[in-house]
């Protein structure tokens, strides 16, 4: 399709994991994804479906230029820091990029008259609080972030909600549970440097590509003692963003919506599924709990179905592991994260 006739959407952080998958989903729905990214953690090779504007979120002038140059009609805002462990040692940096960066983006959008936003929030806004591990999380659940990372996502949500009321911005905050898997094409996938996430580390260990996995704690009040998480395929997550952009909402509306499956999987279950898919067990040991890890985070996804008409399509654990494994066997970029020095850095910040 002619680029000029497409509706352009600015995707901040579009060179990152979820951003790149969402850019692909936007392209498939006829939008032009314009990626705005400083490439501090994203990959140029992940930007395949539209132009890349190299810039920093805190540079309001650069944002303004990108919004005008492409006649942007809406923004999907992913750019930010994501490592929970690192946020406990560098909280000021997380507030600067995740909150001050969002202030800068909102100001640029207001200046250019762009009034539609989808924001990348997180299940980390909830924390464990007083909740029992069996309880699925509805959006109204108490917010007690266990990490500065979660606190910055909640603060950014509050800020966006206030801007909606004050200036007529329309926004949807999607609270992701555990994004995982990779696009079935094998062209894009998960690549964090350093890598701290369970699935890529378990696969690397099983392939003999990394060191043995450490399971962070086996003494939680959960059925098998390891943490429960709600693993959602990144392609399903990408589809939720397109739905959030399309949904008919009045001016000034703000919606916060969980994006998960409603199914909790334990770390041990994930490790077993990886062993089965690879055909050899995941070498692992049991270690201490990791700071900032709540025992259980499982979504109640009712609202996503009601408001967005969205349900997961490819988030069975088997499908997630199969797609992640295809990518890890042949990553198109980011193979450097297997570098032992980077792995040591990951361990230090975990
Ligand atoms: N885990 C291990 N060993 C590892 C890595 C992870 O046992 O080497 C465990 C963790 O303790 C946790 C589970 O695997 O129980 C999943 O951990 P990840 O690091 O893969 O993901 P998190 O649940 O910590 O983080 C995800 C997102 C964050 C988000 C958070 C909400 O990546 O952005 O969910 O808590 F904030």
Strands 228-229 and 265-266 turn out to be antiparallel
* Closest residue CA from atom 3 of ligand 1: 215
Ligand 1 geometric centre to CA of 175 (Å): 15
The per-residue pLDDT for 127 is 79
Ligand 1 geometric centre to CA of 183 (Å): 20
The per-residue pLDDT for 192 is 87
The per-residue pLDDT for 4 is 53
176 tagged catalytic: no
Q: Which of 229, 222, 197 is nearest to 327 (CA)?
A: 197
The per-residue pLDDT for 1 is 52
The per-residue pLDDT for 350 is 40
Find all residues with CB under 8 Å of 83, minimum gap 6, and list them: 149, 196, 349
Residue 305 neighbours by CB distance under 10 Å: 13
Strands 72-77 and 52-54 turn out to be unpaired
CB 5 within 8 A of CB 61: no
The per-residue pLDDT for 335 is 79
Ligand 1 geometric centre to CA of 227 (Å): 9
Q: Which domains does the chain have, with CATH numbers?
A: 3-179+232-259 (3.40.50.720), 198-229+263-298+313-349 (3.90.25.10)
Ligand 1 atom nearest to CA at 123: 31
Ligand 1 atom nearest to CA at 149: 36
Point out the catalytic residue in the list 17, 70, 126, 149. 149
- For the full predicted model, state whether its pTM sits above 0.85: yes
The per-residue pLDDT for 2 is 54
**Rg of the Cα trace of the chain?**
19
Find all residues with CB under 8 Å of 76, minimum gap 6, and list them: 9, 10, 11, 12, 14, 19, 22, 26, 117, 118, 120, 241, 245
* Closest residue CA from atom 11 of ligand 1: 216
* Closest residue CA from atom 12 of ligand 1: 227
Per-residue pLDDT 10s for the chain (350 aa) are 555 568 999 999 999 999 999 999 999 999 999 999 999 999 999 999 999 999 999 999 999 999 999 999 999 999 999 988 889 899 999 999 999 999 999 999 999 999 999 999 999 999 777 777 778 999 999 999 988 999 999 999 999 999 999 999 999 999 999 999 999 999 999 998 888 899 999 999 999 987 999 999 999 999 999 999 999 999 999 999 999 999 999 999 999 999 999 999 999 999 999 999 999 999 999 999 988 788 899 999 999 999 999 999 999 999 999 999 999 999 999 976 555 554 455 444 44
Lining ligand 1 with CB less than 6 A are 82, 84, 122-124, 149, 178, 196-198, 201, 213-216, 227, 229, 267, 290, 293, 297
């Amino acid at each position: 399709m002619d680029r000029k006739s497409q509706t352009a959407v600015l995707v901040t952080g579009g060179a990152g994991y979820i951003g790149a998958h969402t850019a692909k989903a936007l392209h498939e729905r006829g939008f032009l994804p314009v990626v705005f990214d400083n490439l501090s953690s994203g990959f140029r090779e992940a930007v395949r479906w539209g132009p890349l504007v190299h810039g920093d979120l805190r540079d309001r002038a650069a944002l303004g230029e990108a919004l005008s140059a492409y006649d942007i009609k809406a923004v999907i805002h992913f750019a930010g820091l994501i490592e929970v462990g690192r946020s406990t040692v560098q909280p000021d940096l997380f507030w600067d990029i995740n909150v001050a960066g969002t202030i800068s983006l909102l100001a640029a959008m207001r200046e250019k008259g762009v009034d539609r936003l989808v924001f990348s929030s997180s299940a980390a806004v909830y924390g464990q609080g007083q909740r029992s591990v069996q309880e699925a999380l509805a959006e109204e659940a108490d917010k007690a972030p266990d990490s500065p990372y979660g606190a910055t996502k909640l603060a950014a949500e509050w800020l966006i909600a206030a801007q909606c009321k004050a200036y007529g911005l329309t926004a949807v905050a999607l609270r992701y549970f555990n994004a995982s898997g990779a696009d079935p094409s094998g062209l894009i996938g998960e690549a964090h440097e350093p890598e701290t996430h369970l699935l890529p580390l378990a696969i690397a260990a099983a392939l003999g590509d990394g060191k043995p996995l450490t399971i962070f704690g086996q003494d939680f009040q959960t059925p098998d003692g390891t943490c429960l998480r709600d693993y959602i395929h990144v392609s399903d997550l990408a589809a939720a963003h397109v739905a959030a952009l399309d949904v008919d909402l009045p001016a000034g509306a703000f919606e916060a919506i969980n994006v998960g499956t409603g199914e909790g999987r334990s770390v041990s279950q994930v490790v077993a599924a990886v062993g089965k898919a690879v055909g050899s067990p995941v070498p692992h040991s049991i270690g201490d709990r990791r700071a900032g890890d709540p025992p259980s985070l499982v979504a109640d996804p009712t609202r996503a179905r009601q408001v967005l008409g969205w349900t997961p399509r490819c988030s069975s654990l088997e499908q997630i592991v199969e797609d992640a494994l295809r990518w890890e066997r042949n990553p198109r970029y980011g193979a450097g994260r297997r570098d032992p020095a980077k792995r040591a850095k990951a361990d230090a910040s975990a």
